[in-house]
Structure 1
Amino acid sequence: MPGFTEGEGTEEFIEAFKGAVVPRDRKATARDLLPPVLLLASGEGAPGRAHRAMRGLRRMLYPDGAKRVPYAALGPDEIRAAAGRRPLTLDLGRELCVDVPRRTGALRLADFWLMRDIVEQALDPRAAEPDGGALRDHAYAQRLRRGPLLRALWTLGGEAGDGAAGSTAGPGWIAELRRLLVRPLFQLLPRWWWGRRRTRRLLRSTRHGWYADWRRVSHGRTAEEFFDNAARLVRAERARDAEAAVGRWEELLLRALLADLRRAARPGRISPWRRRRRTRCVFLLELPEDAAGAAAGERFLERYGEAARDTRCAAVVVVAVAPASPASSASSASPPGEPPEGASRADGVTEGESGGLGRAAARLRGASGMPSRAPRPLRAALPGPVPEAEALDLDPVSPRAFRLGPAAELALTGAVVASLLSALGVWLVGRITDEPDRGCLGAASSEVVAGRPELSADSPRKQYEDARRLIREENARVDREVADHRGTARTVVHIGSDVAADQEGQRYNAAVPELRGIALAQRALNDEAGNDSQKVWLRVDSRNAGDDFAGAPRIARQVAEDAREKGSGIIGVVGFSKSLKQTQEAVRILGAARIPVVGTTATADLMQVDGYYRRVAPTNSREAAVEADFAHRGNIMDDGTGSCSPARAAVVVKDPRDLYSDEIGTLFAERFGARPFTLEYTPGGRGGRLAQGQPPKDGVARKESIGELADAVCEQITANPRTVVYWASRALQFSAFLDDFGDDTACEGRKLTVLGGNDLTTAALAGEYADRPWLRLYHTVHVLPAGHPRLSDIAKKFNADYARDFGSHDLWRDDGRAALAYDAMQLMAEAANRAFRSTDNVERSNVQIGLDNGIRKQGASGYLDVGRGRSVPRDKPVVILHHTDRGSEPVLYCGAFTQNPAGRIAHWGPRGKFSCPRDS
């Protein structure tokens, strides 16, 4: 933004300004009064820097030829011309109503227009001394000019007049009819109603009677008495000094305008126009160099604070810029009886604060509630110029996010309400007469399946080292390019786990596909950097945290130490494919070191320990909501005849010592309802020993062995055959459970329906459970199978690149781990490239700012919409696969697969009869 430099609170002030204009808490526009801000440019070229700063602010609010928020701006020429002659609020109120943001409706400034008519009459030297009746006639005549309906009614009542009595001229009975009926109906009644409404609002309303408070009117409650009082005010101010009178009119107009804006900004749920108003209004003033104009601007800021306090209006942001002068730089004298500027008040408001942009930003962010005394202007030094800031981003609260205009919405509302009764009747008849759908989900699907892969002859260690070799080769390429002065390079650290020691361990290991996804992303991102000099080359420093991330905290401390070394080039960390207590601790260590982290497949909500952590996988809370809805409403329970029905009960199997397992098992139990029975099992029986002496919770049992666990599950499904087993534990224990359940329990030959999380996916896709015909297995994944028609172009290209490098029948092609790692690198690179384009200085702090500001990008695993208070992409895709002999087929997929509305799946089930759970 013009007028600011890095390192002087610029980014902080811009973000605070944006947050003030578009508050996250919509009630803040009616609750938290913001002090006006005065930005002072000093030194050589001060007027030019002030002008560029004002232009930058306007472009943020008006970037594409249309207002993003209601705002009014006054330039130095306008302020100079008005100083001492007319109130600045006249021009501000008029400009505020011009070109309002689309679909938010015109600002109804009833009080302001009335007071404007009175003030303009008072300022007109040709106007006679008014009495109450003449002033009322003048005000209503002006109202007729602004209202075509009232003007049409007035014309019907007689000849078009000036707001006084209409003509009753006409021959004979026509004149008599007008006198007795038409004129009272079309002229006198609307005029009386208009006067009554103005009187009630300005004098009698206990909430909005600001005029009575300002004028200290203790009697008189009719329109005639109001206009008599206003006429006395006009006569008294005409007799005063001109400049003093202008100040008095400024106070009046400011209170009228702010009272109107306070009503307009109230959150509303019924009016479609008011629901689209999510921002504060903005006043921008560029004060002139001359003393008279600058003094007029500063007096306006003082009067604004008093008016905002009196009207309790928190719906406005005021920013003024000015070339600094001795008068404006020094603290102005305090009024008699007031504390000196800069002194703290009891209510937390500081008068006349001076300081840097960072301090002003802190005050804007920290505004809370309505102060008891008028806030004085915040003064801040304006630094030197840099490239302009991005336009104000109103998504997802922008009026543009509404697909229907307010008028269309209002018109449709009546039709919708009218059709609800008939639709309700049709629905009831349909519920009574329709046969229930008994088809099994996944029984006859035409969807593309995740075909049976081929286990590689290469050992897991060789595949792991091959992926690391690809990264080393790409790092060497980056070093060559940087040595030839062809770009700027930074380092992203990858923290992963060790690979399995045996061939069978391929089925449960995420280290290889994650590393492959990072290698593919690094190559693609560096290809882009080779074509675009404004993008950063990326090195990847892959570090092995051992089996099950046992060394993750130690590796995190090493990364923090390395990052502190000058010239390390480390801008962030990706990885952490599992939600474990040790990975949670590692994320906490990196956050304390202020290192941005983008997780890959770890889904536990408890991994979110600070604002430096983001991930591309959906959270456990989202997965559990989708899975619980699927089990509760989907036809997944086979009764043995080929027909299926939803589950009536559930058994949750979880490991209380495993962060992921314990959390997702608990969340599923909460969302499924019907009080699922929970079985706790920790490999090795450690969970039971930890809880010795403690009675089990109601509906919870602890088991010491897989055999005991299998017997307990058999007992539950025998008691209620429509019980689904929700497997929240790890895949390795699931294989052992199936071995015991099929052979060593009383349920031999009985159908078993299991719903499992993403941890079962790789083993299921590899055919680990294919030889058990009595098992009906559903399991989640975070991507659609390769070749699915819902895939985005980015996902199709990623699948093609993966198949080219690792084979089209590779074990991990469809399980999503590689795609999530690819997207984690994409997010980190996008934040780094934004920092490079805006500052030419890619540091961790700038990368974190880029992530905080929000990134919207199409990824291989779905549409990535993160930032702006979100640590996880909004509506991240969740897919549930049904395990079959020919492969695993999608039976549910929900979420934002692409940015295009057609790629945002909001329904699942037969004919899309069920709604997908949405993120809040």
Structure 2
Amino acid sequence: MPGFTEGEGAEEFIEALKGAVVPRDRKAKGRDLLPPVLLLADGERAAAHAHQAMRGLRRMLYPDGAKRVPYAVLGPDEIRDAAGRRPLTLDLGRELCVDVPRRTGRLRLTDFFLTRDIVELALDPRAPEPDGRALRDHCYAQRIARGPLLRALWTLGGDSAEGGTTGPGWVAELRRLLMRPLCQLLPRWWWGRRRTRLLLRSTRRGWYADWRRINHGRTADDFFEIAARLLRTERGRDREAAVGRWEELLLHALLADLRRAARPGRISPWRRRRRTRCVFLLELPEDAAGAAAGERFLERYGEAARDTRCAAVVVVAVSPAGGAGVSRADGAASSPAGGAAAGESGGLGRAAARLRGASGMPSRAPRPLRAALPAPVPESESEGLDLDPVSPRTFRLGPAAELTLTGVVVAALLSAPGVWLLDRVTDEPDRGCLGGASSEVVAGRPELSTDSPRKQYEDARRLIREENARVDREVGDGDGTARTVVHIGSDVAADPEGQRYNAAVPELRGIALAQRALNDEARNDSQKVWLRVDSRNAGGDFGHAPSIARQVAEDARKKGSGIIGVVGFSKSLMQTQEAVRILGGARIPVVGTTATADLMQVNGYYRRVAPTDSREAAIEADFARRGNIMDDGTGSCSPARAAVVVKDPRDLYSDEIGTLFAGRFGARPFTLEYTPGGRSGGIAEGPGQDGVARKDSIGELADAVCERVIANPRTVVYWASRALQFSAFLDDFGDNTACEGRKLTVLGGNDLTTAALAGEYADRPWLRLYHTVHVLPAGHPRLSDIAKKFNADYARDFGSHDLWRDDGRAALAYDAMQLLAEAANRAFRSTDNVERSNVQIGLDNGIRKQGASGYLDVGRGRSVPRDKPLVILHHTDRGSEPVLYCGAFTQNPAGRATHWGPQGKFSCPRDS
């Protein structure tokens, strides 16, 4: 056949095309989006060559007078006639439903037929401009014409299409009063209401809301009202522009229908036999206008397929090269000249590789894949390439016979012993993804401050100095009692970008807000203690924390120092652990802020307001094992089946939480160890443990993670290392590994939160990120009154769009001050003597107090509040949304989150 000759990649392309139409992996047609293919014929007889190639493709799909694959064809005359006057999708969708392959059932293109009725009305210049109700009635009338059951129901309500009634006397009256509302008005109202719910409010089927950029469930409009407004708008535009808009609408509707039709059927024997993709064949005309219309269709198809996540279609267009000007196979722009096509050797081979290598759902719309057809060889000189027909798998039993046999088996199972088994077999697992469709309050995208980090840091210190001066004035003029709380924090980030990774500023702000609030209470209550704050800088990454702790211990021993305790230590590091040990040796009470490592608990003088690593790892491992977080490329999700843990063995927090997660997750997660700066600096190279590998560079780490993800796509990456290294890892993983374009699911700790909230990872659509935080977003209904007041105070002083408003660090610092102050006030009320020993006794006896980050239930012998809240956020384009929150947000039982997941199906772990 001269359309496809031997050699030049033709045979390879045909085999790749057959593999795309009938994929071996049934999930591929719901997961792997294929780019449209444009085959260019060149030479003097380019039109004849293109026609011969199209004829060969049709024979593959229709070899024996019956379709083996659902396909639709548009010839050059149809494309030329429709160019600029009507959408091509109208004819494609109509032909797709004609003569479907045997034993596969009819294609239910519900949304396409609805939008087709709207578009045909819009294209009719004689039709009036309808309002929403009139448009609904028109579309329902067309729906009745296609459905015999609805037509019979309508007839019961009245003989005429308008619902009029005929018949003598009481018969006509009865039909008017009873049958017409029951058989006509009620079904039409219900049909319209269902269309609105599915197309505007459903997150799974609401493609129309996505196309029109309408928030799902957030509009009170009816679908037909919105469609009528669109119809009126497009009628006022240029005809060609309006046709392009209707083409987009029809393509979105058709592909959304085909995506649902291509899902593997669990019960329906007809759907189980749909093992092929649908095929669109286009033979473009030679004239420029017709060719341009076909090329615009290919571009719009790519965008619609990406938007609807429909991978169930293969599009092949054949064109004389003189009329083609779309992109080349490598994505670069090509010239419209035929010589470009002719000079592109091996084009079919590259196209075949692209078809075979398609994997997943790309973040951008696939561009048309351009390939040159080999020069035709006369049939008298060459036998040509024999195009064997596409042969999808056949079933011995027909669907009706299978359904009958299934009915017999089900009837047998309905006996008492079979009820349980039947429930298990037919139970449809929940495949909805956690995140992306939630109506929860979102931690919105904040704004990076134009002030330098150093200025923000000094401004917070200035607030504390001003409050200290107020204490000196008030206590000096009256009879109040003042004491000093020492804050040990890290140094501020050196550069503006470092705002995303540094906790120094929000911690100081939380302490400043707490100091002011506590001193306001002391002014109103003479039995409460005024507090000064002595803020000491321990350097970057708390490098000077041990020496600062020794200095604080020495100062506390001086008579009249007034030091009653220490707050701070926002990171779990070897140096902060040593500082806590030194302070405990000096019998100074310490309340930590965001340090979570269990190993920080080196003595009985240390407490913290953040949940421990053991609690966090238990919740995160349960979340990864049971939550639908792994996107399979079709929009459906499932729990993780494997994990890769990335940790730094020299970092106290990273090493501990990574080890705890691996133990809790099960399934023997693989651990990758990476220390910034390589292996130098204290860790000797050893043989390593089973399931553990050390990497010298971020690039090696990214390659190792990629290997694991390729081996098992349902692998979650648990990032236990720091946020700065995570950003570097993403840079390499996205474009320097074999995983380019693959989905990557990452679960990380609180260290990623500030960077995530600031939009650090927003430009990576292939990344599905979940990260933890210790507070709910501002405005969340579960927040306590104290938390609401704290958020209002923070917004008033630092702005409602501040970088750290929702990341929890300021709230935890606020609560650390509250806990220490409550112990001091109790000592003052009971003994009139506020010393460190009495403050420690107050902490030992237990404190229950509502805080900004949750309910602070520090009972006897407890160093961490019981059931301290933990929140997991899903990072999205519009911000980070809570997908899990567990713990005691308020003392009231209604404020305690004990379950998570869809309909609260999973239990939160509880502290003893």
TM-score (norm 2): 0.54
Structure 1 position 758, deviation (Å): 0.2
Measured in 1, the distance between the counterparts of 2:779 and 2:822 equals 27
Asked if the contact 1:636/1:646 (under 8 Å) is kept, the reply is yes
**Aligned-partner residue type, residue 762 of structure 1:** T
Matches within 5 A, 1:240-639: 430-639=423-632
The one-letter amino acid of 1:700's match is V
**Map 1:79-94 → 2, pairs under 5 A:** none
Question: How far does residue 431 in structure 1 lie from its aligned partner after superposition?
Answer: 3.8
Q: Write the distance in 1 (CA, Å) between the matches of 2:664 and 2:750.
A: 18
Question: How big is the shift at 1:607?
Answer: 0.2
Corresponding residue for 2:840? 848
2:530 is aligned with what amino acid?
W
Say which of 745, 756, 768 aligns to 1:776.
Answer: 768
Match of 2:754 in 1: 762
Quote how far apart the aligned CAs of 1:633 are: 0.1
Q: Which of the residues 799, 814, 830 maps onto 1:807?
A: 799
Distance 1:608 1:689, change over 3 A: closer
CA contact (8 A) 1:656 1:687 kept: no
Cα distance, 1:485 vs structure 2: 2.3
Aligned partners of 1:681 and 1:687 also within 8 Å = no
Provide the residue aligned with 2:899 in structure 1. Answer: 907
Q: Distance in 2 between matches of 1:834 and 1:429?
A: 62
Shift of 1:919: 1.3
Matching residue of 1:369: none
AA aligned to 1:665 is G
Is the alpha carbon distance of 1:759 and 1:439 closer, same or farther for their aligned partners in structure 2, counting shifts above 3 Å?
A: same
SS at match of 1:702: strand
Contact kept, 8 Å, 2:491 with 2:504, in 1: the verdict is: yes
Distance 1:424 1:772, change over 3 A: farther
User: Does 2:891 match 1:896?
Assistant: no
Q: Distance in 1 between matches of 2:458 and 2:700?
A: 40
Corresponding residue SS for 1:683: coil
Q: Would the aligned equivalents of 1:688 and 1:702 in 2 still touch at CA under 8 Å? A: no
Contact 1:574/1:599, CA 8 A, preserved across alignment: yes
Hey, what's the Cα distance between the residues in 1 that align with 2:424 and 2:852? 41
Give CA-to-partner distance per residue, 1:791-850, whole Å, 9 cap, x none: 000000000000000000000000000000000000000000000000000000000000
Q: Tell me the secondary structure at the aligned position of residue 686 of structure 1.
A: coil
Q: Does 1:793 align with 2:765?
A: no
Q: Secondary structure at the match of 2:520?
A: helix
Q: What does residue range 868-887 of structure 1 map to in structure 2 within 5 Å?
A: 868-887=860-879
Which of 812, 815, 821 does residue 813 from structure 2 map onto?
821
> Match of 1:631, as an amino acid?
A
Q: Which amino acid aligns with 2:850?
A: Q
Q: Which whole-Å CA distance do the structure 2 matches of 1:865 and 1:431 have between them?
A: 42
Q: Look up the match of 2:635.
A: 642
Superposed displacement of residue 424, structure 1: 13
1:684 to 664, 677, 681: 677
Contact 2:436/2:876, CA 8 A, preserved across alignment: no
Partner of 1:159: none
Gaps of 5+ in 1: 1-422
1:501-535 CA distance string (max 9 Å, x none): 10000000100000000000000000000000000
- CA drift of 1:433 comes to 2.9
In the alignment, the residues of structure 2 paired with residue 654 and residue 555 of structure 1 have an alpha-carbon distance, to the nearest angstrom, of: 28
Seen in structure 2, the aligned counterparts of structure 1 residues 427 and 914 have a Cα distance that, compared at 3 Å, is farther
Q: How far does the alpha carbon of each residue in 1:359-391 deviate from its partner, in whole angstroms, 9 at most, with x for none? A: xxxxxxxxxxxxxxxxxxxxxxxxxxxxxxxxx
Q: Is the 8 A contact 1:688 1:703 kept in 2?
A: no
Structure-2 separation of matches of 1:509 and 1:900:
34
Deviation at 1:486, TM superposition (A): 3.2
Distance in 2 between residues matched to 1:828 and 1:708, nearest whole Å: 46
User: 1:638–1:424: structure 2 CA closer, same or farther, 3 Å change rule?
Assistant: farther
1:51 — aligned with what? none
Q: 2:553 is matched by which residue type in structure 1?
A: A
Q: What letter matches 1:849 in structure 2?
A: I
Which consecutive unaligned segments of at least 5 residues does structure 2 have? 1-415
Deviations 1:856-889 (A, max 9, x none): 0000000000130110000000000000000000
By how many angstroms is 1:481 displaced?
1.1
Counterpart of 1:916 in structure 2: which amino acid?
C
Q: Which of residues 707, 728, 734 in structure 1 aligns to 2:699? A: 707
Distance 1:428 1:461 in 2: 66
Distance 1:452 1:472, change over 3 A: same
**1:669 maps to amino acid:** A
**CA pair 661-687 structure 1, distance change in 2 beyond 3 A:** farther
Deviation at 1:769, TM superposition (A): 0.2
| Whole-angstrom distance in 2 between the partners of 1:470 and 1:805 | 11
Task: Name the residue aligned to 1:661.
Answer: 654
Residue 804 of structure 2 aligns with an amino acid whose one-letter code is W
- How far off is 1:426 after superposition? 8.5
Q: Taking every aligned residue pair, what percent have the same amino acid on both sides?
A: 92
Measured in 1, the distance between the counterparts of 2:682 and 2:527 equals: 58
**Deviation per residue, 1:17-49 (Å, 9 max, x gap):** xxxxxxxxxxxxxxxxxxxxxxxxxxxxxxxxx
CA distance change for structure 1 residues 846 and 801 in 2, over 3 Å: closer, same or farther?
same
SS, match of residue 684 in structure 1: coil
Residues of 1 paired with 2:722 and 2:641: CA distance? 24
TM-score (ref. length: structure 1): 0.53
Structure 2: which amino acid aligns with 1:875? Answer: D
- Specify the SS of the correspondent of 1:685: coil
From the superposition, tell whether residues 809 and 848 of structure 1 become closer, same or farther in structure 2 (CA, over 3 Å). same
Quickly say closer, same or farther: Cα 1:436–1:542, change in 2 above 3 A: same
Quote the offset at 1:425 in angstroms.
10
Aligned partner of 2:737 in structure 1 is 745
Q: In 2 relative to 1, CA 677–687 (structure 1 residues): closer, same or farther, beyond 3 Å?
A: farther
Please tell me whether the aligned partners of residues 443 and 881 of structure 2 are also in contact (alpha carbons under 8 angstroms).
Answer: yes
Moved more, 476-485 or 506-515: 476-485
CA deviations over 1:559-579 (Å, ceiling 9, x no partner):
000000000000000000000
**What letter corresponds to residue 852 of structure 1 in structure 2?**
D
**Structure 2 contact 654–720 (Cα < 8 Å) conserved:** yes
Cα distance, 1:721 vs structure 2? 0.4
| Alignment length (residue pairs) | 497
Aligned-pair distance for 1:430? 4.4
Q: Whole-Å Cα distance in 1 between the matches of residues 633 and 578 of structure 2?
A: 47
Query: Does the residue aligned with 1:869 lie in a helix, a strand or coil?
Result: coil
Distance of aligned partners of 1:918 and 1:687 in 2 relative to their CA distance in 1, 3 Å threshold: farther
Question: Aligned-residue CA RMSD in angstroms?
Answer: 1.4
Partners in 2 of 1:869 and 1:739 — Cα distance?
46
Question: Residues 715 and 532 (structure 1 numbering): CA distance in 2 closer, same or farther, change over 3 Å?
Answer: same
* Paired amino acid for 2:906: F
